[in-house]
């Protein structure tokens, strides 16, 4: 009994079928528009409907579990220890890991789904449910994920409601399975996690589509404007409103209010995390402070007169931290109320007064327009009196504070990255702030504050890092291209063949958060490496910001150096977290536009196509959140591999392939109907690497696909070999696995590679025409 959504079984009243049908008295007239969609086998799949595809993936890429804890603490039978034992409910360690992963993915999916639903209903309230989804001339396939999964194209904002209804229903079933005494098999949990990831994909697409069409954000514009990025771009002489989080609505209403009142020049509006990205898609005068990692540092700097928080990735102690500097805090969504009084129905001027006079600790205002007015008015009134607060403890004070250090060393042990915090503090005590400065400027410290919490003397280390970095704040002026939204159909048409055939060596997507092992610069260096090598580099969210925070040898940011087109050497900032949907979307569009695969209800065929032919690789180098887990898992289900930074190992689960087991890589050549030997391409589906060097080589390898033409394969292997030589010093030892015939061997490396092939007793093998995992008998 799969839970049966009403929509699949009983289509009366649903937009899928009703859209082209007008009901008139006694007669049904279909609209003139032809029924464009060919309905595939599984529209609106239920929890178990794609299970057979999942099991194919899971057989090749077996879940690899790294328990973060030996115990389960979810029911009152527990805690149970699962180290070689089953719990009181019968669960074992692997199953418990998978269950926890599903739970994390669902929390992530819910974050996007809650966000999407909220945006959608708000925008429908403003614009009506008939507001058209139109991404302009160059984007016909405006919603590739929705088309594929829902089996139909959404034409209006109202249609997106059906998407959300479906997503919410599926989430409810999936979350149910996490209850004690339900699913008992780890692979079934992973299948459900895949489904959660797919729901996440849908929710993100719905959210970004809604905001693009309703707020008129760039519609796949490769020339989206360059935006100011960095601490140094904020004019601290003006009143400053800082928006933190992910929801564009309050920020949009703040800039609208400023426009309306002609105050654009008088107030600085800036943002941290995805709210920054989306506000600057809406209005390019807003500024981006930077990724998540800047949050505590910027709040501590005292620069923001008003801190507007919406949802996701906001420090939960933002109120406490902001109050230290008497910044006014406005919470704006049900997701984060912070215990504040609900002032939604109050007069704006009264709220401003209450905030300024400190009658309230902050305000919860659930109406974004009112937030716009209150935030601006408060900032203007508060700024003059807050002037003295816009500075940190001075250098002498830092030295004084540092001298309190007792050398216990627990700050370093508490630091997620084991940074030499104590050493920096001790140096500071001697008057040398350079190490603290380095932690700030090189972004080694992402201001999580655990060091402070651990310090037995309560030394405010993050404030000291912030202060030490201040001297060079003026240098922190960068550029980022505003999020452009999806790839255009015309671009896909152009790059489809080169990608599938391997002429463009790959699409590499840098996404996710800033939980980096060694600062954000690594991401920029990786992006640079692949841009220089002709890859298409796609990015979103905090990753996009980290790429912008780097200047190359010419003093330019990569956004200034490379164009924003979805093509070789393009550096494509698609937007915020929710814009990640356009990355899977681009892969899907390749299948559809280039290969003419029908999308509607056809998930498995599309995913099989992507897995075997689209050389794309996601990189979430600083992934920290449940959202990132959901995104990666969703992307994985489409057949796109993802690599994580070392902290990603704490997600507890990876999907690793076994290159040493040839059985796992068999392929069905649909052209011939023959099952033939394949290659480990892509070798892993979800991988965590220790450092940039390792991951760079891995990315190049993970872009290889069975369908590469010999020319394309040569190109991909050249990159793989080049990078392996650069970082490992040798031609990779597994090169033989990726050479099907001699034609695949890169010319420049011919001799060396041939030598390896001989040593390995290599034999040429068939090149599949239409490689697939479908319709293969087991074993």
Partner 1 sequence: MNDRIIPWQPTVIAGPKQAMLVTPETAVMMIKKAKRPLMVVGPLAKRQPVLDHTLKIMERWDLPVVTTADTFRVFNERGVETEPYGIVEITNLLKDPEWRGVRGEGQHDLVIFIGCIYYIASQGLSTLKHFAPHIKTLTICKTFHSNADASFPNMDDEEWFRYLEKMHED
Report whether 258 contacts 379 (CB < 8 A).
no
Q: Which two tokens stand for residue 97?
A: 């890991």
Residue 226 or 248 having the CB closest to a copy of itself: 248
Which of a copy of itself, partner 1, none has residue 161 at its interface (CB below 5 to 8 Å by kind)? a copy of itself
**DSSP assignment string, 641-662:** -EEE-GGGGGGSEEEE--TT-G
420 binds partner 1 (CB under 8 A): no
Q: Binders of a copy of itself among 370-429, rule CB under 8 A?
A: 416
**Candidate residues 11, 55, 71, 399; the one interacting with partner 1 per rule CB under 8 A:** 71
313 known member of a binding site: yes
The distance of closest approach from Cβ of residue 672 to partner 1 in the complex, given in angstroms and rounded to an integer, is: 32
Question: How far apart, in whole angstroms, are the C-alpha atoms of residue 311 and residue 670?
Answer: 47
Give, as one character, the DSSP assignment of residue 133: -
451 known member of a binding site: yes
Q: Choose the stretch contacting a copy of itself; rule: CB under 8 A; options: 187-195, 435-443, 471-479, 603-611.
A: 187-195
19 binds a copy of itself (CB under 8 A): no
SS3 category, 357:
helix
519 binds a copy of itself (CB under 8 A): no
Q: Which two tokens stand for residue 444?
A: 């080694």
The distance of closest approach from Cβ of residue 333 to a copy of itself in the complex, given in angstroms and rounded to an integer, is: 5
For 721, half-sphere exposure in the C-beta direction (CA atoms, 13 angstrom radius) is: 21
For residue 679, what are the contacts with CB-CB under 8 A and spacing of at least 6?
A: 665, 704, 706, 737, 738, 740
513 known member of a binding site: yes
**Candidate residues 727, 754, 757, 760; the one interacting with partner 1 per rule CB under 8 A:** 727
**Candidate residues 93, 101, 105, 124; the one interacting with a copy of itself per rule CB under 8 A:** 124
Q: How many residues bind a copy of itself (CB under 8 A)?
A: 122
**Helix locations, 264-366, DSSP H:** 274-282, 295-301, 318-324, 348-357
Closest listed residue to residue 537, CA positions, set 561, 573, 487, 489: 573
Site map 592..631 versus a copy of itself, x via CB under 8 A: -------------------------------xxxxx----
Which of partner 1, a copy of itself, none has residue 177 at its interface (CB below 5 to 8 Å by kind)? a copy of itself
Site map 308..327 versus a copy of itself, x via CB under 8 A: --xxxxxxxxxxxx------
Place of tokens 């008139």: 24
What are the distances in angstroms from CA 306 to CA 145, 293, 373, 376, 582?
38, 19, 12, 8, 33
Site map 325..364 versus a copy of itself, x via CB under 8 A: -------xxxxxxxxx-x---------------------x
Question: How far apart, in whole angstroms, are the C-alpha atoms of residue 22 and residue 592?
Answer: 29
Nearest-5° Cα angle at 513, 511 to 515 = 130
Q: Binders of partner 1 among 652-691, rule CB under 8 A?
A: 652, 654, 656, 658, 660, 687-691
Sign of the dihedral defined by the CA atoms of residues 742, 746, 748, 751, in that order: negative
The distance of closest approach from Cβ of residue 564 to partner 1 in the complex, given in angstroms and rounded to an integer, is: 32
Q: Which two tokens stand for residue 79?
A: 């805690």
Closest listed residue to residue 98, CA positions, set 180, 201, 183: 183
Q: Choose the stretch contacting a copy of itself; rule: CB under 8 A; options: 40-48, 583-591, 672-680, 700-708.
A: 40-48
Q: Which two tokens stand for residue 662?
A: 């040839």
Q: Which residues are annotated as a binding site for [Ni-4Fe-4S] cluster?
A: 246, 274, 313, 513, 542, 577
Positions that interact with partner 1 (CB under 8 A): 64-71, 78-84, 93-94, 413-414, 416, 418, 517, 646-647, 649-650, 652, 654, 656, 658, 660, 687-691, 693-694, 697-698, 727-730, 733
């Amino acid at each position: 009994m799969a839970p049966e959504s009403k929509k699949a079984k009983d289509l009366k009243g649903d937009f899928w079928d009703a859209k082209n049908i007008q009901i008139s008295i006694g007669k049904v007239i279909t609209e003139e528009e032809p029924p464009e969609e060919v309905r595939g086998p599984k529209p609106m799949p239920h929890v178990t409907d794609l299970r057979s595809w999942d099991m194919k993936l899971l057989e090749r890429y077996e879940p690899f579990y790294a328990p973060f804890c030996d115990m389960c603490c979810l029911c009152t039978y527990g805690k149970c220890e699962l180290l070689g034992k089953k719990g009181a409910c019968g669960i074992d360690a692997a199953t418990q890991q998978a269950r926890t992963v599903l739970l994390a993915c669902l929390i992530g999916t819910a974050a996007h789904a809650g966000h999407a639903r909220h945006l959608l209903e708000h925008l429908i309230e403003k614009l009506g449910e008939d507001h058209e989804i139109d991404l302009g001339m160059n984007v016909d396939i405006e919603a590739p994920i929705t088309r594929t999964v829902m089996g139909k194209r959404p034409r209006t904002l109202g249609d997106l409601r059906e998407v959300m209804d479906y997503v919410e229903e599926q989430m409810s079933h999936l979350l149910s399975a996490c209850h004690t005494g339900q699913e008992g098999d780890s692979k079934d949990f992973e299948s459900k996690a895949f489904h959660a990831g797919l729901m996440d994909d849908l929710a993100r697409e719905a959210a970004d589509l809604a905001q693009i069409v309703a707020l008129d954000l760039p519609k796949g514009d490769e020339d989206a404007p360059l935006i100011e990025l960095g601490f140094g771009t904020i004019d601290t002489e003006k009143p400053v409103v800082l928006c933190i989080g992910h929801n564009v609505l309050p920020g949009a209403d703040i800039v609208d209010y400023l426009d309306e009142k002609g105050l654009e020049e008088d107030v600085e509006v800036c943002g941290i995390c995805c709210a920054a990205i989306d506000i600057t898609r809406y209005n390019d005068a807003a500024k981006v402070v930077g990724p998540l990692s800047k949050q505590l540092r910027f709040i501590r700097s005292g620069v923001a007169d008003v801190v507007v928080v919406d949802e996701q990735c906001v420090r939960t102690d933002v109120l406490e931290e902001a109050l230290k500097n008497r910044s006014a805090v406005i919470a704006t969504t049900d997701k984060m109320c912070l215990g504040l009084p609900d002032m939604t129905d109050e007069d704006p001027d009264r709220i401003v007064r209450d905030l300024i006079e400190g009658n309230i600790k902050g305000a919860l205002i659930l109406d974004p327009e009112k937030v716009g007015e209150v935030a601006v008015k408060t900032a203007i009134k508060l700024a003059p009196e807050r002037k003295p607060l816009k500075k940190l403890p001075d250098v002498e004070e830092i030295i004084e504070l540092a001298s309190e250090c007792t050398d216990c060393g627990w700050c370093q042990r508490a630091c997620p990255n084991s940074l030499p915090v104590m050493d920096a503090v001790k140096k500071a005590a001697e008057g040398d702030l350079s190490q603290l400065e380095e932690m700030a400027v090189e972004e080694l410290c992402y201001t999580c504050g655990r060091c402070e919490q651990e310090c037995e003397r309560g030394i405010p280390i993050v404030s000291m890092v912030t202060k030490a970095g201040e001297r060079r704040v003026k240098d922190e002026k960068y550029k980022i291209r505003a999020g452009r939204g999806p790839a255009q159909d015309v671009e896909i048409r152009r790059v489809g063949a080169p990608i599938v055939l391997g002429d463009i060596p790959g699409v590499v997507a840098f996404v996710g958060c800033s939980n980096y092992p060694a600062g954000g610069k690594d991401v920029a260096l990786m992006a640079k490496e692949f841009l220089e090598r002709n890859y298409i580099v796609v990015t979103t969210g905090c990753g996009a910001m980290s790429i912008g925070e780097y200047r190359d040898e010419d003093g330019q940011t990569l956004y200034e150096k490379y164009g924003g087109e979805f093509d070789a050497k393009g550096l494509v900032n698609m937007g915020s977290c929710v814009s990640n949907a356009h990355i899977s979307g681009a892969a899907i569009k390749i299948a559809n536009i280039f290969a003419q695969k029908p999308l509607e209800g056809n998930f498995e065929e599309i995913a099989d196509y992507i897995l075997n032919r689209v050389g794309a690789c996601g990189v979430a180098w600083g992934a920290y959140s449940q959202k990132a887990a959901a995104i990666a898992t969703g992307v994985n289900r489409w057949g796109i591999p993802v690599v994580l930074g070392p902290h990603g190992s704490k997600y507890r689960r990876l999907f690793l392939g076994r290159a040493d087991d040839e059985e796992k890589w068999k392929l069905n050549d649909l052209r011939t109907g023959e099952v033939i030997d394949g290659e480990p391409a892509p070798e892993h589906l979800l991988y965590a690497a220790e450092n940039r060097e390792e991951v760079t080589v891995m990315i190049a390898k993970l872009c290889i696909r069975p369908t590469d033409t010999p020319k394309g394969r040569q190109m991909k292997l050249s990159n793989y070999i080049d990078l392996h030589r650069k970082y490992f010093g040798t031609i990779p030892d597994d090169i033989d696995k990726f050479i099907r015939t001699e034609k695949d061997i890169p010319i420049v490396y011919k001799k060396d590679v041939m030598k390896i092939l001989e040593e390995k007793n290599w034999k040429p093998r068939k090149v599949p025409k239409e490689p697939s995992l479908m319709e293969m008998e087991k074993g």
